[in-house]
Chains A and B, each alone.
Chain A
Amino acid sequence: MVTDAILAKPHCHASLVIEAKNIHKAFANKPVLKGLDLELQPASVFALLGPNGAGKSTLISLLTGVARADQGYLRVLGLDPAQDPIAVKRQIGVVPEELALFESLTGRQQLHFCAQLHGLDRTTSEQRCEELLRLTDLVSAGNQLINTYSKGMRRRLAIAAALIHGPALVLLDEPFDGIDVIAAGVIRELLQELRRAQVSLLLTTHILEIADRLATHAGFLYDGRLLDQGPVTTLTEKYQQANLEGVFEALIPLPDSQGNHLTFYQRRHD
C-alpha cells in the first residue's frame, strides 16, 4: 500500500489540475496539436484515448515542461509550465512511453537519484525507495543494472521513479504498453492505489478495457484535437454506448486501410 507519507497534497489550490485552452504544437512545421482544450478535475483519473499519432505523447511533454506549446493557454496545478517549469516539475510525476531510465544505474540507484533530484532527505529517500520497490515487486532486482531488466520491470521501475517524490499529479503515457499479464496486474493495482489516495492521474492507453476499469473521466484525441471529454458515465450515456470502447468507435473515424485486403497472399474460403 502507498503510504500517505509518499503522496503529498498539491502545493497550490487550483480548482483544475490541468487547464488547457487552444493549445497548438508543431514539430518541424508539421502540426501535432491543433487547438486542443482539456480540463482535469482534482482527484480524478483521466484516460486520454486516441489512435497513434493523435498527439497524446506530445501533450504529456507539454504538461511536463519538456516541450513548449507554440500557442495557447496551459496551466498545470495552477502554474504555467513554460514560465515556472521548476515549480510544475516538483509537483508532477511522469512516465513517458519511451521510458526515461538510465541504463547504467541499478534500479535502487535510479530511485535514489530521482529522490535526490527532488531534494528528498536521505531517510525519506531510503524509506520510499524500499516501499516502492516492494510495491512494484522489484526488491530482488533492485541491485541489478537496468540494462538487464525486462520491459515489464522497466515500466514498473519507471512508475516507481515517478512516484518517489509524492507528486500531486501523475502523467502516464501508455503504462501498459508491451508488458505481460503479471506486470500489467502490478501496475493496475498500483494505479488503483493512487486513485484511492486521491492522486490526479492522466493516462494514455490503447487498452480501452483498462481505461473503462480505472478512469473516472475520459477524453478522445484525434488529429490534434480533443473531440469530446467528460466523466465516463456522461460520455457513455451521451453516445448511448455500454463502455468507452463503444464511445471510441462512435467518435474516432476508421482508418483508410479498413476494407483493404492483402493481394499477394492466397485467400482461402472453407
Chain B
Amino acid sequence: MTIDSDRDQPKCVAPLPGFISHLYLLWQTRNQLSRQSLGLHQSRLQRLISALALVPACALGLLSYWFMTQPSITVAIDVSQFYFNLLCFVTAMQWITWPVLSAGVEDASESRRYQSYPISTRRLLVATTLTGLLRPVGLFMFAPLIGAVVGYTSSHVERYVFMVPLLLLAFIALCAGWSQAALYWVRDILRSHRSGQALGALLIALIVLGMLLPPLDISWLYQKNETGNANFGLDLKESAQIAYAFSRIPTGYLGEALRALHDGRPLAAMADFLAMLLLAALGLLIAQIQLSQSQHNKASHSESNNAMQAIFLNARNTHAALALREALALWRNPRARLLLAVPFVLMVMFRLFSAHEMFIFFFGDNVDTWLMAVLATYAALLVTTTFTQNMFAEDGQGLYLLLAAPVTPKSILRAKAQVHTLVIGLAGLSSTMFYALYIGQVSLQDWFLVALGITLVIPITLMVGLFLSIYFPVSTDTSLNRRNRQSMAVSLVGFLGTLAGTSPLFLLLNYRHSEAFYLWAYPVLVVALGLMIALYHYLLPIAGQQFNQRRERILAQIGRF
C-alpha cells in the first residue's frame, strides 16, 4: 500500500472555532436569516425601523434611572433598596415568562439547527442565549435594569464601583438562563401530543386558583401617607422589611449585592455575584437537559374520534371543506392554543395581584371599560400578528395541493379569511366576557359597546393580514423545528392595522360620559363596521388576483418550489 505523495495532505484535523468565533458566527447567521426571511437586503427603512425599536427600550432605561434618582426614593437606602428589588423582581419575572407570553417558542429551534455541527450543546445554549440578548426584545428587558443600576449606584455606591457592571452582567445571565429553561419547558409542553389537554388543565387550574385565593394586597404601593407625600404609603420600617424579604429570593441578589457595596462589604457582594452565576448555570443546565431529551421524543398522535376522522365527509361543499381544514389546522396548532390562553392567564394574574384596584385608584371607577377593551385588543392582536398576517405559512407544502386543486385562489382566501374572522372574534369577545365575569364590573351596554368595537378590528386586520400574507410570506413550522420570522417592518404594519381597527372604539370611549352617549355611539360603530366590511368585500377580489399572480413566489417562500 502506497500513499500518493504529490498532493498536499492534511497533517491534522483543523482546529474548531473558539467560543468567541462561535458567538460571532451565530450572531451573523441570526442577522442574515432575519434579512433573508423576506428575500431582501437590509434597506435604510429597515435599519431605521430597527433603530426605532430601540427607542422604547432606551426610554424605559432613562425612566428607571430618573425614578431611582428621585429625592423621595434616594431619601433613605431602605426606600431605594425596596424599589430596586421590586424592579428586579418584575423584570426577572417578565423576562422568564416571556417565552410563554409571546409564544416565542420557535426561538428554541435555533439550537436544533446547529446541533449537527461540532459544537457542544452547552456552548450552543450559552452562545444562543448571549446572541439573543442583542435582539430588541432582549434590550427591552435589560434597559430598565441598566437605568436602575446606574441610578442606584450614583446615589448610594461610592466604593468598589468597578464591581457593579459585573454584578449587573451576572443578574442578566441569571434571567437569560432561566428564560431559556422556560423556553424549552413551554416548547416541550407544546410539542407533546397532549399539549391541548396540558394547556387546558393549566388554564382551568389557574382560573380556579384565582377564584379561591384571596388577591394580594398591594394597596401600600399607591396609597398616600398621612402627609400626602409620595413615599407611596410605606414607612421606612416597612420598606426595609419588604426589601429584606425581596433580597432573600434570587431576583433580589443584585439589590443585596449593591447594598453590600454600599455598606463596604465587597466579599458579600462577591458571594451574591457567584450565587447569581451558579443559578444562571443551573437554568442553562435545565435547558440543556430539556434540549437533549427533546431530541429523542417525537410526538405521535392518533385521532381515535371517528366523527373527527369523517369531518370532511360531512362538509356541505368544497368551500366548507376548505374552511374546515383551515380551522382544524389552527385547532391543532400548539402556538394557537397557547396564544388563545395567554389573555386569560394575564387576567387571572390581574386579579391575583389586585391590579384592577390599582387602576381604579389611578384612573377612577370607570376604568373597567377601557381595561376590557385593551385586553380584548391584546387578545385579537396576538392572533392577528402571529397567524393572520402570515396566513399561508402554516400550510407549508399543502399550499401546492390547494393550488393544484380545482378551486379558485379567491375561494382559498375566502375560506382562510372566514376562519380567521372566527378566531379573532372568539379571542376578542371571549376576553371581554371573561373580564366582565371574572374581574371588573361592566354594564351590559358597555360590554356591547366594547364587543362591537372589537368586531370592528376584524375586517381591517383581515385586509392588512391578507395583503401582508401575499406580499411577505414567511415559512413557519408547526412542529417548532424551524425558525423564521417576518421582518420587524411587516410586524409593525400588522400591529398598526390592529390599532387602526380599534381606534374608533378608543376614540368613542373618550366621550363615554357625554350626554346620550350610547344613543349615538352604537350607530357610529355600526356604520364604521358596515364601511369596513364593504371595504373588505371590495378588496377581497383584488387580494385574490394578487394571490393568483404571486402564487409561485409565495410557494417558494413558504416551502420548496
Question: Could you tell me the distance between the alpha carbons of A266 and B406 in the complex, rounded to whole angstroms?
Answer: 57
Stretch at the interface among B240-248, B295-303, B383-391: B295-303
Q: Which of A168-206 contact B (CB under 8 A)?
A: none
Q: Give a binary string over A134-156; 1 marks a CB under 8 Å from any B CB, 0 the rest.
A: 00000000111101100000000
Residue A45 lies at the interface, judged by CB distance under 8 Å to chain B: no
Residue B38 lies at the interface, judged by CB distance under 8 Å to chain A: no
Question: Could you tell me the distance between the alpha carbons of A161 and B397 in the complex, rounded to whole angstroms?
Answer: 14
Contacts of A144 in B (CB 8 A): 300-303
Q: Please determine whether A96 and B4 come into contact, CB atoms closer than 8 angstroms.
A: no
Q: Please determine whether B405 and A89 come into contact, CB atoms closer than 8 angstroms.
A: yes
Identity of the chain A residue whose Cβ is nearest the Cβ of B312 in the assembled complex: A112
Q: Please determine whether A101 and B398 come into contact, CB atoms closer than 8 angstroms.
A: yes
Q: Please determine whether A98 and B328 come into contact, CB atoms closer than 8 angstroms.
A: no
Indicate whether A106 sits within 8 Å of B303 (C-beta atoms), given known contacts A117-B321, A117-B407, A118-B406: yes
Residue B10 lies at the interface, judged by CB distance under 8 Å to chain A: yes
Q: Please determine whether A64 and B404 come into contact, CB atoms closer than 8 angstroms.
A: yes
> Chain B: interface secondary structure?
loop
Residue B561 lies at the interface, judged by CB distance under 8 Å to chain A: yes
Question: Could you tell me the distance between the alpha carbons of A90 and B1 in the complex, rounded to whole angstroms?
Answer: 64
Select B400's contact among A27, A100, A143, beta carbons within 8 Å.
Answer: A100
Residue A7 lies at the interface, judged by CB distance under 8 Å to chain B: no
Identity of the chain A residue whose Cβ is nearest the Cβ of B408 in the assembled complex: A86
Contacts of A145 in B (CB 8 A): 300-303, 332
Residue A270 lies at the interface, judged by CB distance under 8 Å to chain B: yes
Q: How far is the CB of A11 from the nearest CB of chain B, in Å? A: 12
Identity of the chain A residue whose Cβ is nearest the Cβ of B39 in the assembled complex: A28
Q: Give a binary string over B166-177; 1 marks a CB under 8 Å from any A CB, 0 the rest.
A: 000000000000
Stretch at the interface among B286-294, B465-473, B551-559: B551-559
Select B406's contact among A27, A90, A147, beta carbons within 8 Å.
Answer: A90
Q: Please determine whether A109 and B404 come into contact, CB atoms closer than 8 angstroms.
A: no
Contacts of B2 in A (CB 8 A): 268-269
Q: Please determine whether A103 and B478 come into contact, CB atoms closer than 8 angstroms.
A: yes
Question: Could you tell me the distance between the alpha carbons of A142 and B518 in the complex, rounded to whole angstroms?
Answer: 55
Identity of the chain B residue whose Cβ is nearest the Cβ of A99 in the assembled complex: B397
Indicate whether A116 sits within 8 Å of B406 (C-beta atoms), given known contacts A101-B398, A102-B325: no
Q: Which bucket holds chain A's interface residue count?
A: 35 or more
Residue B479 lies at the interface, judged by CB distance under 8 Å to chain A: yes
Q: How far is the CB of B410 from the nearest CB of chain A, in Å? A: 12
Q: Give a binary string over B501-520; 1 marks a CB under 8 Å from any A CB, 0 the rest.
A: 00000000000000000000
Q: Please determine whether B328 and A100 come into contact, CB atoms closer than 8 angstroms.
A: no
Question: Could you tell me the distance between the alpha carbons of A116 and B408 in the complex, rounded to whole angstroms?
Answer: 14
Q: Please determine whether A161 and B401 come into contact, CB atoms closer than 8 angstroms.
A: yes
Select A67's contact among B4, B399, B552, beta carbons within 8 Å.
Answer: B552
Question: Could you tell me the distance between the alpha carbons of A103 and B333 in the complex, rounded to whole angstroms?
Answer: 10
Residue B3 lies at the interface, judged by CB distance under 8 Å to chain A: yes
Select B561's contact among A61, A85, A125, A266, beta carbons within 8 Å.
Answer: A61
Q: Please determine whether A89 and B406 come into contact, CB atoms closer than 8 angstroms.
A: yes
Q: Which of A100-129 contact B (CB under 8 A)?
A: 100-106, 108-109, 112-119, 122, 125-126
Q: How far is the CB of B10 from the nearest CB of chain A, in Å? A: 6
Indicate whether A101 sits within 8 Å of B302 (C-beta atoms), given known contacts A67-B552, A89-B406, A147-B478: no
Residue B104 lies at the interface, judged by CB distance under 8 Å to chain A: no
Q: How far is the CB of B153 from the nearest CB of chain A, in Å? A: 52
Question: Could you tell me the distance between the alpha carbons of A31 and B356 in the complex, rounded to whole angstroms?
Answer: 63
Q: Please determine whether A109 and B311 come into contact, CB atoms closer than 8 angstroms.
A: yes
Q: Which of B542-558 contact A (CB under 8 A)?
A: 551-552, 555-556
Binding site for B on A (CB under 8 A): 27, 61, 64-68, 85-87, 89-90, 94, 96, 98-106, 108-109, 112-119, 122, 125-126, 142-145, 147-148, 161, 263-264, 266-270
Binding site for A on B (CB under 8 A): 1-4, 7-10, 298-304, 308-315, 317-318, 321-322, 325, 328-329, 332-333, 394-408, 478-479, 551-552, 555-556, 559-561
What are 23 residue pairs bridging A and B, where the CB atoms are less than 8 Å apart in the complex?
A66-B403, A85-B406, A87-B406, A96-B400, A96-B404, A100-B398, A102-B325, A106-B309, A108-B309, A113-B325, A114-B401, A116-B318, A117-B321, A118-B406, A119-B318, A122-B313, A126-B313, A143-B302, A145-B303, A147-B479, A148-B298, A266-B9, A268-B2
Given contacts A119-B406, A145-B303, 10 further A-B contacts (CB under 8 A): A66-B551, A66-B555, A101-B398, A102-B395, A109-B328, A117-B322, A145-B300, A147-B478, A263-B7, A268-B2
